[in-house]
Amino acid sequence: MKYLYKYPQRKFPYEELVKANASRSRLEPEFELNHTGIYEDNRYFDIYIEMAKSKDNAEECLFRVTAYNRGPEAAPLHIVPQIWFRNTWGWGYEEKHKKREREFKKRQAKEAANGQVTGDDPGVGSGNSDSDSENNGVDDEHEDEAPHGGPGAWGSCGKGSGEIPDIKQRDKFQMESNHWKLGKRYAHFAPSVGFTENDDDVDPVLLFTNNETNKKRLYGVKNESDYVKDAFHERIVDDKEAAVNPENHGTKAAAWYAFDAGQGIPAGDYVCLRFKFSNKDPGQYQELDEEEFDSIFDAREDEADDFYYNISPLPVSDDLRTIQRQAFAGMLWTKQFYHFVHSQWSKGDPNQPPAPPHRANSRNSEWKHLHIDDILSLPDKWEYPFFAAWDTAFHCIPLAMIDPDFSKKQLDLMTREWYMHPNGQIPAYEWNFSDVNPPVHAWATFRVFKIERKMYGREDLDFLERVFQKLLLNFTWWVNRKDRDGKNVFEGGFLGLDNIGLFNRSEPLPTGGVLEQADSTGWMAFFCLQMLNIALELAKRRSVYEDIASKFFEHFIFIADAMSHRYGSDVEKPLWNEEDGFYYDAISWGGPWSQQLPVRSLVGLIPLYASLTLEPEVLEKCPSFAKRVEWFIENRPKMSSRNMASMSKRGSKGRLLLSLVNRDRLGKLLVRMLDEDEFLSPYGIRSMSKFHEKNPFSMEVNGQTFTVGYVPGDSNSGLFGGNSNWRGPIWFPTTFLLIESLQRFFLYYGAEYEVECPTGSGQMMNLAKVAENIQHRLINLFTRNDRDGRRPYNGSEDIYDHDENFVDHILFHEFFDGDTGRGLGSKHQCGWTGLVAKLVHDVGVTCTRAATPRDPISAAEAFFDDVITPKRRRSRQLSRHSSFLRHGSKSRASRPESRGSFEDTTREAIESQLDPDAAERIRRILESYNLNTSANDDELETKYSN
C-alpha cells in the first residue's frame, strides 16, 4: 500500500478558504486549495507513506516514509508516526467486560495446559482503530453525538479493571505494547540518515501520553489523567516538555523525527524513515538492516505490479493502466472500521455525560437493532466517512476484481440481521437509515458472483444463495411499503437521487396527492429481473428455485403492465408521454386524476434498466419454469404480449426479452439519450437533459413557484444541503447501469438493430457499439487528450494537468460537469467512480482519446462476465497493441520490447510467460479482438451472451 500526502510549507490557509467560499454563490465554482497560491514555487513536501508485510511473518508490518522537498529552499519538517489504543476503557461497561475477560482467560489457561493454541475471543475484536479518538473519529467537541459503545468488543477493559493496555519504551529506538487480548507487540524505529556524509543521523525521540480527552481544555473541568491526547502537539509545537509522560509509557505513543537542523531539508532533497510493527520479540536491540528492509519493499512492489497487471493483461496504454491502478488503490484505501451500536449510542456511555433526552426518540430511533462493528467500504474517508448502502453495491464491482472475498462480505453484511431492519429494509446511511436507496444489491450480488467465477474460477453458490434469501425479505419490504395501493406502482421517494425533481421527494407533496415515480417503478422492475436471474442460476443446481423464478417472472410482468396501463386495464397510464417519447413522474390524486411533470431527467431513463434476455438453454434446463412461462403467455395473452417483445418474434437465437420498454419506446428514448443537446455529454450521460437549460420547468403551488432546470455543475439548489446535484452532472453508477442495459438489448435485437449515435450525426451503430461509445466517454474523463495533454476532470487547472509532480496522480470525484467533465463534489469519491477500473478492463484496448471514438466494437470477454469461447477467426497484425509486448511478462525486467504478429504475441507473451489459465484466457480474448464492423450475428452474440 502506498499513499501520497502533499504537505504545504506555508501556513495552511483555513481562513482564506472559508472566507472566499462563503462569499461565492452556488453558481460559482469552489475556491480550492490550489487557488490560494500555497503551491507556488513548489513550496510543499511530497510525502509517500508505504506499508508492506515482511517476507516470513504475516503479522509484521514494515513502514517507510519518504518526504521530498519540492521547494526552492530548505525547509524544516517534523514527522511523527504514532501508535495508540482506542479508548474503550473509559466508556464504563467494565462489569460485562470483566466477566468476559475472566471467561476468556480461564479458557486460555485451560487450552494452554492442554497444549492448545488459544483462539480469538469471538466476542472481542482488536484494540486498534483508524481514529485518534475515543469515539471512532468524531471530534472531542462532539463526543456526545459519537456512535460509540459496543457490548463486549474492541479491547474492552472496564475502568478500574486493572487491564488498561499500555505502551512503554523498551530502549532508545523501541516500544513494547501490551494488551490483554492482543498480547505483546513491538515497534522499532530506525534513525534517519543525514543529508550528507557529514550530517548526523536524525534519531527519533519517543513520546508517551494517554489517549484521554483533554476535558480541562474542552469543558473547564479537571482531567482524570495528567497526560492527555493532545500532548504531542503541546510538546512539539508549544515546547511544553511537561505535557508528555516522563515515565515513558501510556496508551498513546509517538516517534518524533525533527528535520530542523540548519534550515531543514535542503531544496530538492529528501529524507526517509523506516520502522516496523511486529508480534515478534526482537530481543536485544539491533539496528534495522536498511538494505534488507528496502529489498522487501522492492519485492512487494514487483508482486503488486504483477498482480494488477494480470488483473487486466490486455494491451492497454500506460495511461489507462495508471488510471485503473489508482482507481483500485482508492477502493482499498477507503476501507475503514465503522462502529455504530444503537442501543448504547441512544443512551450514552456510563462514564460519559448523559445523552440528550431526545436522542432515543430522534432520527434513526426505529433502528434500535443496529450493531455495526465491521470494516466497510466507504464512499471516501475524507468527506463521507460512513457507509451508504447503494454506494457500497457499486463499490463491490471493482473490488470483486481484486478482492472478491471482501466484496462478497460487504453485500452479505448489508443483508444480515444486525444491519437489515426486521421488516426487511436495508439501512441507507448514517444521516438517515430510513431513507430509501435504489434496490441495486441483487444486481451487485450476481455481478460479483460472476466476476469471481470468470476471473478466479470459483463459484460461491453459498454466498449467492445466502444473500438471495435475505433479499427476498428486502423485496417484500419494497412491495409492502412502497406500493401503498398494491397495484405495482411504486413511490420510493428519495431513491438516492437527491434534488433531481421539482419537489423534495422525501417529503409530502405541496400539491397533495402521491408522486407516481417512473424511476421507482423502473427500479423495482429491475430488482425483479435481477432476482429472477439469480433464481435461475440457483435452479441449475436446485430445481426448487424454479418456483421462485416463476414468481419473479410474473411479478415483473405485472409491474411492467402497471407502469404502462392503468391497473391492468387497456387505458394508457400517464407515465409515458408518446408525444415526447419519454417517461415522466406524475402526481396522482386517485382515480383518473393525475398530472405529468414533464422534466426530462434520469428518472425517465431508469426504466431502461429493467431488461433481461432469457436464453433458450436456460428454459431447457429449467422445465418447470419454462412451463410456467408458457402457461402465463397462453392464459394472459394481452398482458404478456404488450410487455414481452418476444411474443410476436423471438429475438436472436430464439431469446426471450423481458423489458419495460418495447422496440418503439426504446428507439424514442435513445433519440433523447443520444442527443448531444440533451443527455449525451462528451463524457457520459447527463442526469438531466440540457434541453432544460433554456427551457426550465416551473410549477406554482399555493403562491410558491417551484422550478427545475439543467445545471451542469454544482447544485444551485439547497435541497439535501446542496452538496450534490442530479440536475445535469454525470454520475458513474447510473451511467454504468445504462451501459449494461444497452448490452442486454443488444443480446435480443442483435447487430442488425442500429440507432443514430449521436442523434443527428447520420452515424448508425448497433447497441453494443453505442454502449462502448459511452464507456469510452466515461474513461476519457481521466485520460490526457491529444490536443493539449489535459485530463478533462481537472477542469483545465494547469498545476494538475502540466506540473510533473501532479500530472499522473489521479483523483476520482463524486460526479462530473455535464458539459466540461470537470470533477465535482468530493475529490476522493473512489467508491462508485472506481467503476472506471472495470471499464478499462472491459474496453481499454479500444479506448481512444477522441471525444467520440469511431473504432470497431471491441470483443472483450462478455460484459456480464460469463465465461465464453469465441469462434476462431483469421489473425491480423496487432501493432497498435505493442504495449502488451512491453508488459506481458511477470517480471518488469524481462518484458520484451519487440513487436510481432498476433501469432507471435500469443506464442511469446502468453504461452512462455504466463500461467496456463491466464494464457488461455488472454488468447481467447485477443482472438475475439479481430471482430470488425461487419461481424456477423453469431460473433456479436458470443461477445455479450449470458
DSSP class per residue in 232-301: HHHHHTS--GGGS-TT-EESEEEEEEEE-STTSBPTT-EEEEEEEEESS---S-----HHHHHHHHHHHH
CA–CA distance, 783 with 846 (Å, rounded to integer): 13
Q: Count the domains in the chain.
A: 3
Last residue within a domain, chosen from 285, 302, 319: 302
Please tell me whether residue 440 adopts helix, strand or coil conformation: coil
Cell 412461462, residue? 629
Last residue within a domain, chosen from 271, 302, 333: 302
pLDDT tens sequence across 857-902: 333 334 455 543 333 332 332 222 323 223 333 333 333 333 333 3
Q: So what's the pLDDT on residue 884?
A: 28
Please tell me whether residue 89 adopts helix, strand or coil conformation: coil
Residues 6+ apart with CB under 8 A from 678: 600, 672, 686, 689, 690, 691, 759
Residues 6+ apart with CB under 8 A from 730: 681, 683, 684, 685, 686, 687, 778, 781, 815, 816, 817, 818, 821
Please give the C-alpha separations between residue 391 and each of 379, 511, 672, 684, 731, in angstroms, as whole numbers: 7, 32, 27, 19, 12
| Domain match, 651 and 702 both | no
Half-sphere exposure of 700 (CA within 13 A, CB side): 2
Q: So what's the pLDDT on residue 629?
A: 87
Cell readout for 695 is 427551457
Please give the C-alpha separations between residue 140 and each of 85, 145, 302, 351, 724, in angstroms, as whole numbers: 16, 10, 42, 15, 28
CA–CA distance, 666 with 668 (Å, rounded to integer): 5
Cell readout for 229 is 491526547
CA–CA distance, 690 with 564 (Å, rounded to integer): 26
Q: Does residue 822 belong to any structural domain of this protein? A: yes
Q: What is the DSSP letter of 851?
A: S
DSSP class per residue in 173-193: TEEEEEETTTEEEEEEEPPBP
Please tell me whether residue 548 adopts helix, strand or coil conformation: helix
- Residue 883 in contact with residue 889, Cβ under 8 Å? no
Residues 6+ apart with CB under 8 A from 608: 522, 660, 661, 666, 669, 738, 741
| Domain match, 685 and 648 both | no
Provide the sign of the torsion angle of the four alpha carbons 590, 594, 599, 603, taken in this order. positive
CA–CA distance, 581 with 671 (Å, rounded to integer): 9
Q: Does residue 886 belong to any structural domain of this protein? A: no
Q: Does residue 869 belong to any structural domain of this protein? A: no
Cell readout for 142 is 462532539
> What are the helix and strand counts (H, E) for the chain?
27, 29
Amino acid identity of residue 141, one-letter, is: E
CA–CA distance, 638 with 636 (Å, rounded to integer): 6
Q: Which residues pair with 611 in a beta bridge?
A: 659
| Domain match, 205 and 293 both | yes
CA–CA distance, 467 with 865 (Å, rounded to integer): 19
Helix axis angle, 404-414 to 461-481, nearest 10° = 30
Q: Does residue 332 belong to any structural domain of this protein? A: no
Provide the sign of the torsion angle of the four alpha carbons 645, 650, 651, 656, taken in this order. positive
| Domain match, 594 and 716 both | no
Q: Before 856, cis peptide (omega within 30)?
A: no
| Domain match, 840 and 709 both | yes
| Domain match, 716 and 815 both | yes
CA–CA distance, 859 with 938 (Å, rounded to integer): 12
Q: So what's the pLDDT on residue 101?
A: 62
Half-sphere exposure of 172 (CA within 13 A, CB side): 8
| Count, residues in the chain | 946
CA–CA distance, 461 with 468 (Å, rounded to integer): 10
Domain encompassing residue 210: 1-93+162-302
Q: Does residue 314 belong to any structural domain of this protein? A: no
| Domain match, 631 and 687 both | no
Residues 6+ apart with CB under 8 A from 7: 44, 45, 47, 67, 77
CA 159 to chain centre: 38
| Domain match, 4 and 68 both | yes
- Residue 840 in contact with residue 312, Cβ under 8 Å? yes
- Residue 817 in contact with residue 380, Cβ under 8 Å? no
Q: Does residue 226 belong to any structural domain of this protein? A: yes
- Residue 433 in contact with residue 486, Cβ under 8 Å? no
Residues 6+ apart with CB under 8 A from 872: 927
pLDDT tens sequence across 786-837: 888 999 999 999 999 999 999 999 999 999 999 999 999 988 877 899 999 9
Cell readout for 128 is 486498534
Half-sphere exposure of 37 (CA within 13 A, CB side): 1
Helix axis angle, 389-402 to 318-333, nearest 10° = 120
Nearest to 527 by CA among 676, 374, 660: 660
CA–CA distance, 873 with 931 (Å, rounded to integer): 8
Listed as own residue / partner, the contacts of 670-675 with beta carbons closer than 8 Å and 24 or more positions apart are 670/755, 670/770, 671/581, 671/755, 671/756, 671/759, 672/581, 672/582, 672/600, 672/604, 672/759, 673/605, 673/738, 674/755, 674/756, 674/757, 674/758, 674/759, 674/770, 675/758, 675/759, 675/760
| Domain match, 561 and 589 both | yes
Q: What is the DSSP letter of 1?
A: -
Longest dimension (CA), the chain: 93
Cell readout for 410 is 460487504
Q: Does residue 233 belong to any structural domain of this protein? A: yes
Low-confidence ranges of the chain (pLDDT < 70): 94-105, 108, 115-162, 483-493, 564-574, 643-649, 720-723, 848-946
| Domain match, 746 and 610 both | no
Cell readout for 350 is 456510563
Phi-psi region of 211 (alpha: psi -120 to 50; beta: other; left: phi over 0): beta
| Domain match, 85 and 232 both | yes
CA–CA distance, 928 with 930 (Å, rounded to integer): 5
Nearest to 159 by CA among 225, 85, 94, 224: 94
| Domain match, 713 and 840 both | yes
Q: So what's the pLDDT on residue 211?
A: 96
CA–CA distance, 733 with 817 (Å, rounded to integer): 15
- Residue 617 in contact with residue 607, Cβ under 8 Å? no
Last residue within a domain, chosen from 284, 302, 320: 302
Q: Does residue 666 belong to any structural domain of this protein? A: no
Nearest to 889 by CA among 305, 236, 54: 305
CA–CA distance, 635 with 600 (Å, rounded to integer): 37
